[in-house]
Amino acid sequence: MALKERISQPGGAGTWYGELPVQSLYTAGAAGDRFLKTLKEKGQFMGSPCTACGEVYVPPKLYCEKCMAELKDWVKVGPDGTLESWTELWVGLDGSRLAEPQLVGLIRLDQATTSLVHVLSGVKPDDLCIGMKLTPVLKPQTKREGTITDILHFRPK
């Protein structure tokens, strides 16, 4: 079966063996670009508040996901935040098993109503708890590239 072949019967889907010949490129978009540029240049976290319903999005958005209002304003948020959830990753980006788990958390920055996902460090899995206060560790300003990895990790405050 070719990758572009149309399946006309539900039972016609099969297994694809080998690698999928698919490439993708992620872009942060206009709001994300501004967020990352501010993080790079000033080391500040910014959110986009919705004046119609009160949401404060981090990472910022151009339109409110709840009420579809256009989001034009920007406000400082964080930098500290609260751990809302976490998980242990035992498989690396290359698919190989990790010797130690990498911790990833769902973090709500102070003054924000939404959360972002990022790496946790400086804490053992058994010591994590929902509601734990966290603080970000950023790359030195001269090493920042304008990507989300300018945030090295979040650690307990």
pLDDT in tens, 46-77: 999 999 999 999 999 999 999 999 999 999 99
Give pTM, 2 decimals. 0.80
Q: What does the block give as tokens for 9?
A: 């019967």
Q: What is the mean pLDDT of the chain?
A: 90
- Asked if residue 138 lies in contact with residue 151, where contact means CB atoms within 8 angstroms, the answer is yes
Residue matched to tokens 């709001």:
31
- Asked if residue 101 lies in contact with residue 90, where contact means CB atoms within 8 angstroms, the answer is yes
Q: What is the CA radius of gyration of the chain?
A: 19
42 pLDDT tier (thresholds 50, 70, 90): very high
Q: Tell me, what's the pLDDT at 107?
A: 97
Range scoring the smallest mean pLDDT among 5-19, 32-46, 60-74: 5-19
For residue 98, the SS3 value is: strand
Q: Tell me, what's the pLDDT at 143?
A: 97
Distance CA 77, CA 132 (A): 17
Distance CA 69, CA 57 (A): 13
Residues 19-38: what's their mean pLDDT?
Answer: 83
Q: Tell me, what's the pLDDT at 1?
A: 44
Nearest to 87 by CA among 58, 110, 111, 107: 107
